[in-house]
């Protein structure tokens, strides 16, 4: 009887223990995941974040909730990811707009202490557009000729210090022309002034510009990303027009806090790769005029460093001050 009582107690203890499994022993993921983006709700980056979050949900079978921590060109969101628990339940959306903004705050990229890259998955098609009533040009060469005839011509982009701004300064430096950059708080007010005739030209994402291109209020003279935009197939790239350095890639990837366990990172990477090629994300990207692809952590990391160094040099030479 004593043996039976002891055996029974042991069985009860084992069963009880079965109802409590340490979180570390549970397969990842076992609860909702938070995706931090450093940009406000409703903007192009937020749209990308919500699209990839939904696609990741399909792959991970857990909710992926977007958390907007807007401020300082995305740096606030990046810092929030850096200080989060390295358990895979807080991940981040990283744009090169954010890494380039580090230059303005005297900060190094320092990936080892800031984050672990998971993979890059999207590039936003970007165009150089003009108001045809103000600037009757159709190519970059004609645009440069106009700048030579009219030194100090005002130009703009989605934001001061962003890659659009730095890309325009790069063009001016290489072609030895003078521009006057007009700063706005976001793409929408900048574009309104271009359409309204206050500023003749700007760099803008294709999705935002498309309705105004279709109505004839804006004219795209080049896609300044690597590849042509499917929604504007007849508009050649800057590379095709002979301006190889004019690549203004607004690109994004997924990252996790430093010291996140490698098996967790690998699980997220596999899910991201599958999500990028899945129906949910493919349909979303086709509506956003973005280029979808998958790039693993090593290539994503190398691209971030190259992009950071290239635009940092332009910021230094053009003497672009902090926003």
Q: pLDDT tens digit string along 186-233?
A: 788 999 999 999 999 999 989 889 999 999 999 999 999 888 998 899
Single out the residue of 248, 240, 172, 160 nearest to residue 205, CA to CA.
Answer: 248
What's the pLDDT at 172?
A: 94
What's the pLDDT at 275?
A: 95
Mean pLDDT of the chain: 89
> How far apart are the C-alpha atoms of 292 and 124, rounded to whole Å?
9
- Per-residue pLDDT tens over the stretch 7-56: 444 444 444 444 444 545 578 999 999 999 998 888 778 889 999 999 99
What's the pLDDT at 3?
A: 40
Angle of CA points 261, 49, 263, to nearest 5°: 15
> How far apart are the C-alpha atoms of 160 and 173, rounded to whole Å?
17
Single out the residue of 100, 43, 45, 52 nearest to residue 75, CA to CA.
Answer: 100
Query: Does the predicted model carry a pTM greater than 0.85?
Result: no
> How far apart are the C-alpha atoms of 134 and 309, rounded to whole Å?
35
Does residue 111 surpass a pLDDT of 80?
yes
Averaged pLDDT for residues 65-94: 95
3-state secondary structure of 174: helix
- Least confident window among 15-19, 138-142, 168-172, 199-203: 15-19
CB atoms within 10 A of CB 164: 27
Is residue 73 within 8 A of residue 98, CB to CB? The reply is: yes
Give whole-number Cα distances, 186 to 20, 198, 205, 220, 292, in Å.
50, 16, 12, 19, 24
Output DSSP code: residue 322.
P
Single out the residue of 46, 40, 108, 106 nearest to residue 69, CA to CA.
Answer: 40
Output DSSP code: residue 22.
-
Return the structure tokens found at 284: 């979303």
């Amino acid at each position: 009887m004593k043996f039976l009582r002891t055996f029974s107690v042991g069985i009860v203890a084992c069963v009880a223990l079965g109802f409590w499994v340490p979180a570390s022993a549970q397969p990842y993921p076992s609860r909702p995941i938070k995706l931090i983006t450093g940009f406000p709700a409703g903007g192009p980056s937020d749209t990308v974040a919500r699209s990839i979050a939904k696609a990741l949900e399909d792959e991970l079978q857990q909710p992926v909730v977007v958390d907007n921590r807007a401020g300082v060109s995305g740096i606030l969101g990046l810092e929030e990811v850096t200080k989060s628990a390295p358990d895979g339940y807080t991940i981040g959306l990283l744009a090169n707009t954010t890494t380039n903004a580090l230059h303005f705050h005297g900060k190094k990229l320092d990936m080892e202490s800031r984050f672990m890259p998971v993979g890059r998955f999207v590039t936003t098609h970007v165009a150089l557009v003009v108001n045809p009533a103000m600037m009757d040009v159709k190519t970059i060469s004609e645009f440069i000729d106009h700048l030579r005839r009219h030194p100090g011509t005002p130009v703009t982009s989605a934001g001061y210090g962003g890659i659009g701004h730095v890309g325009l300064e790069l063009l001016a430096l290489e072609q030895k022309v003078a521009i006057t950059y007009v700063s706005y708080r976001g793409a929408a007010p900048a574009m309104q002034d271009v359409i309204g005739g206050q500023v003749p030209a700007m760099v803008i994402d294709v999705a935002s510009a498309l309705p105004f291109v279709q109505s004839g209020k804006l004219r795209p003279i080049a896609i300044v990303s690597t590849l042509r935009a499917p929604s504007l197939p007849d508009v050649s790239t800057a590379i095709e027009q002979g301006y190889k350095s004019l690549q203004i890639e607004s690109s994004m990837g997924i990252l996790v806090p430093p010291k996140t366990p490698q098996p967790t990172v690998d699980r997220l990477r596999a899910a991201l790769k599958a999500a990028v090629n899945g129906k949910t994300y493919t349909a979303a990207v086709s509506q956003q005029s973005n280029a979808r692809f998958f790039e693993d952590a090593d290539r994503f990391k190398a691209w971030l460093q190259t992009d950071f160094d290239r635009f940092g040099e332009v910021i230094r030479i053009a003497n672009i001050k902090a926003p």
